[in-house]
Amino acid sequence: MNTAVAVEEKENYLNNGYGLKSWLLTKDHKRIAVLYFITISIFFAIGGTFASLIRAELLTPPGDLVSSETYNKLFTMHGVIMVFFFLIPSIPATMGNFFLPMMIGARDLAFPRVNLLSWYLLIAGGILAIYAMIAGGVDTGWTFYTPYSTTYSNTYVITTALGIFVAGFSSILTGLNFIVTVHRMRAPGMTWFRMPLFVWANYATGLIQVLGTPVIAVTLVLVFCERVFHIGIFDPQLGGDPILFQHLFWFYSHPAVYIMVLPGMGVISELISTFSRKAVFGYGFVAFSSVAIAVIGFLVWGHHLFVSGQSLYAGLVFSFLSYFVAIPSAIKVFNWTATLYKGSISFATPMLYAFGFIGLFTIGGLTGLFVASLGFDVHVTDTYFVIAHFHYVMVGGTIMAYMGGLHYWWPKMTGRMYPEGWAKLSALIIFVGFNFTFFPQFILGYVGMPRRYHAYPDEYQVLHVLSTAGATVLALGYLMPAVYFLWSLRYGEIASANPWGATGLEWQTPSPPPTHNFEHIPVVTHDAYDYTTVPREVMEVGR
């Protein structure tokens, strides 16, 4: 283990300019990515704290830890922070920002200053949301259903909505930047079908961000107008329709879940390939599946409204299309699994997270098929079954992918290796803790435990205790990487340019990379996952 010795440090993006101003006014996509990493880690900690309080309250049937008002604020704020300030930006704004330009051989994104603006917008939105929480909180649920949110709640609805509105523009601009970059800034020889699948995934995500987010922006404007001016758009007493809100809200919020999971799938494609040393099986199909998910994802929002009073026939259409959108995800899972066939498989930490993703996303996705079935959904909608379903795909899926990508690219971004033993242990703890937290919730939901309940009937306690126990383990699992990653910045083994023997242009630069990414813009002559191009001495490192 080679700790830092007095070695002349090469110029890289981290040491190229010191001081707050060089960071806060940077145009470098890599520095912006680091800013995002810090920011969303803070939001994750806040959202996670709310989750811990929720699980602590649910240890016992009566509502005895916090008051009802407080509990309602806790689950609302947990949802708002996790969805809008953690999951939506997570992988695109960190790893997408850092690596998308490098992977296609570009020097930066198309619009670096817009990229910096995106970060400031997330900060501004986050400050508004956190201000709302400190000033007294918001208790409408992250879904803001009317007329409760517009007429009855007397909490900080507008401030929170404004925070989400501003953060939405952060997301739109990131998506816009990625789309233009992929279209116009690929290096010579980098055709569409030579791009890494991570780029395809972030491209498809950008399409959703750009088309979907404006709709929730205007919906929040209407909520604001209703709340302040009582225009009656969602108020039945004035001729309005509260269910119109649900349609407008879910028109964005369903595609939003694909914003949250598609980049994760992109990471998995990279990990499975590198740690099997094989091209992803069915590359073209996986690439097209990303775009298919983005497109079809816009057509299924009504599956959140099956019991809302929506027409029977609308329900049929949305249920059918919801099955349709599942197929591209299934195609990806089969192709990733097939990539392992006749591969050369290594069990480094990123690969463990990739395996975890495939397993847990499969379960989460399969339970999506349960709720897409009309007759079944009538029973389980608005229960813990749905909570379990989306946590399986968002935490068991996206967050696993985020952790996998973080470990994978850590040496490239920081020039240091994380400690492999501790990392593997954490991955295992997270996997076990996660399943203990959320699997009991499927059962809880089917036996009838509704969502957003502060107190519950006695007989549900055993399952809740199991879930809270799991959550404690899961929290420990997340704390460990926080510690060892920070430790590694100072004491971690110095990383080489390509510790994993991976393909991809980002591995052809030093670790950490220089500000301008490439000394010379590469000319690409081979496909994305061609391991014959990896030098022997890189492979001999043996990870």
Partner 1 sequence: MGTRLPLFPEQASTISVEVDHLLYYLMAVSIFFTLLIFGAILYFAVKYRRKSDTEIPPSVHTGFALEIIWSVIPFGLTMIMFGWGASIFFRERRPPQDSMQIYVVAKQWMWKLQHTEGQREINELHIPINRPVELIMTSEDVIHSFFVPDFRTKQDVVPGRYETSWFNATKPGKYHLFCAEYCGTKHSGMIGWVYAMEPKDYEVWLAGGPKGTMVEAGAKLFEDLACVNCHHPDGSGRGPSLVGVFGSTVKLVGGGTVKADEAYIRESILNPAAKVVEGYMPDMPVFQGLVTEENVVQLIEYVKSLTPPRPAAPNVAVSSAPPNR
Partner 2 sequence: MEDSHAQAETLALREQFDTEAQQKDASTLGMWIFLITEIMFFGGMFAAYTIYRSAYPTVFGVASSSLNVTIGAINTCVLLLSSFTMVMAVRAGQLGQRNMIIFFLIITLIFGCVFLGVKAYEWTEKYEEHHMPGQIAFHLDGTPLQGPAKLFFSLYFAMTGLHALHMVVGVGILTFIILETKNGKYSADYYTPIDIAGLYWHFVDIVWIFLFPLLYLIDRHLPK
- In the window 380-399, what residues touch partner 1 (CB under 8 A)? 381-383
With respect to partner 1, which residue has the nearer C-beta, 89 or 240? 240
Give the contact letters, 216-255, x = binds to partner 2 (CB under 8 A), - = no.
Answer: -xxx-xx--x---xxxxx---xxxxx--x---x--x----
Q: How far is the CB of 78 from partner 1 (least distance, A)?
A: 13
Q: Which of residues 298-317 bind partner 1 (CB under 8 A)?
A: 306-309, 312, 315-316
Q: Are 281 and 320 in contact (CB under 8 A)?
A: no
Candidates 17, 141, 510, 522; binder of partner 1 (CB under 8 A) is 141
Block residue for tokens 């066939």: 341
Q: Which window, 44-52, 145-153, 505-513, 518-526, contacts partner 1 (CB under 8 A)?
A: 145-153
| Helix (H) or strand (E) run with residue 117 in it | helix 112-135
Q: Which of residues 25-54 bind partner 1 (CB under 8 A)?
A: none
CA-based angle 164:166:170, to the nearest 5? 105
Task: Pick one of partner 1, partner 2, none as the site partner of residue 397 (Cβ within 5 to 8 A by kind).
Answer: none
Block residue for tokens 């971690």: 492
369 binds partner 1 (CB under 8 A): yes
- The phi and psi torsions of 300 (rounded to 5 degrees) equal -120, 10
Task: Pick one of partner 1, partner 2, none as the site partner of residue 179 (Cβ within 5 to 8 A by kind).
Answer: partner 2
Burial level of 172, CB count in 10 A (0-12/13-18/19+)? buried
Measured between alpha carbons, how far is residue 433 from residues 94, 227, 293 in Å?
A: 25, 41, 30
Q: Which window, 135-143, 177-185, 391-399, 531-539, contacts partner 2 (CB under 8 A)?
A: 177-185
Dist. CA 449–CA 443, nearest whole Å = 9
Quick one: CA torsion of 437, 438, 443, 445, rounded to 10 degrees? 120
Q: Which window, 129-137, 192-200, 379-387, 516-524, contacts partner 1 (CB under 8 A)?
A: 379-387
Task: Pick one of partner 1, partner 2, none as the site partner of residue 419 (Cβ within 5 to 8 A by kind).
Answer: none
Candidates 29, 186, 278, 303; binder of partner 1 (CB under 8 A) is 278
Dist. CA 326–CA 367, nearest whole Å = 11
Q: How far is the CB of 526 from partner 2 (least distance, A)?
A: 18
- The phi and psi torsions of 455 (rounded to 5 degrees) equal -125, 155
Q: Which window, 169-177, 379-387, 421-429, 447-455, contacts partner 2 (CB under 8 A)?
A: 169-177
Which stretches does DSSP call E strand in 77-222?
Answer: none
Block residue for tokens 């330009």: 101
Q: How far is the CB of 539 from partner 1 (least distance, A)?
A: 5
Would residue 494 be called left, alpha or beta, if left means φ above 0 and alpha means ψ between -120 and 50 degrees? beta
Task: Pick one of partner 1, partner 2, none as the site partner of residue 242 (Cβ within 5 to 8 A by kind).
Answer: partner 1
With respect to partner 2, which residue has the nearer C-beta, 226 or 270? 226
Which pair of tokens denotes residue 23? 């960071």
Q: How far is the CB of 118 from partner 2 (least distance, A)?
A: 13
With respect to partner 2, which residue has the nearer C-beta, 114 or 317? 114
Dist. CA 524–CA 191, nearest whole Å = 9
443 binds partner 1 (CB under 8 A): yes
Which pair of tokens denotes residue 474? 């899961």
With respect to partner 1, which residue has the nearer C-beta, 93 or 333? 333
Task: Pick one of partner 2, partner 1, none as the site partner of residue 185 (Cβ within 5 to 8 A by kind).
Answer: partner 2
Q: How far is the CB of 498 from partner 1 (least distance, A)?
A: 13
Q: Are 260 and 394 in contact (CB under 8 A)?
A: yes
Q: How far is the CB of 49 from partner 1 (least distance, A)?
A: 21
Give the contact letters, 251-270, x = binds to partner 2 (CB under 8 A), - = no.
Answer: x-------------------
Measured between alpha carbons, how far is residue 508 from residues 327, 522, 536 in Å?
A: 35, 10, 14
With respect to partner 2, which residue has the nearer C-beta, 195 or 271? 195
Q: How far is the CB of 437 from partner 2 (least distance, A)?
A: 36
518 binds partner 1 (CB under 8 A): no
330 binds partner 2 (CB under 8 A): no
Maximum Cα–Cα distance across the chain: 74
Single-letter code of the amino acid located at 281 = F
Q: Which of residues 99-118 bind partner 2 (CB under 8 A)?
A: 106-112, 114
Task: Pick one of partner 1, partner 2, none as the site partner of residue 229 (Cβ within 5 to 8 A by kind).
Answer: partner 2
Q: Are 370 and 326 in contact (CB under 8 A)?
A: no
Task: Pick one of partner 1, partner 2, none as the site partner of residue 2 (Cβ within 5 to 8 A by kind).
Answer: none
Candidates 44, 50, 355, 384; binder of partner 1 (CB under 8 A) is 355
487 binds partner 1 (CB under 8 A): no
Single-letter code of the amino acid located at 431 = F
Task: Pick one of partner 1, partner 2, none as the site partner of residue 458 (Cβ within 5 to 8 A by kind).
Answer: partner 1
Residue whose C-alpha is closest to residue 112's, from 206, 28, 12, 23: 28
Q: Are 108 and 29 in contact (CB under 8 A)?
A: yes
Q: Are 543 and 501 in contact (CB under 8 A)?
A: yes
Q: How far is the CB of 238 from partner 2 (least distance, A)?
A: 4
Dist. CA 539–CA 535, nearest whole Å = 7
Candidates 56, 210, 299, 331; binder of partner 1 (CB under 8 A) is 331
Q: Are 262 and 209 in contact (CB under 8 A)?
A: no
DSSP class per residue in 244-269: HHHHHHHHHHHHHHHHHHHHHHHHHH
* List of residues contacting partner 2 (CB under 8 A): 106-112, 114, 172, 176-177, 179-181, 183-185, 210-215, 217-219, 221-222, 225, 229-233, 237-241, 244, 248, 251, 516, 519-521, 523
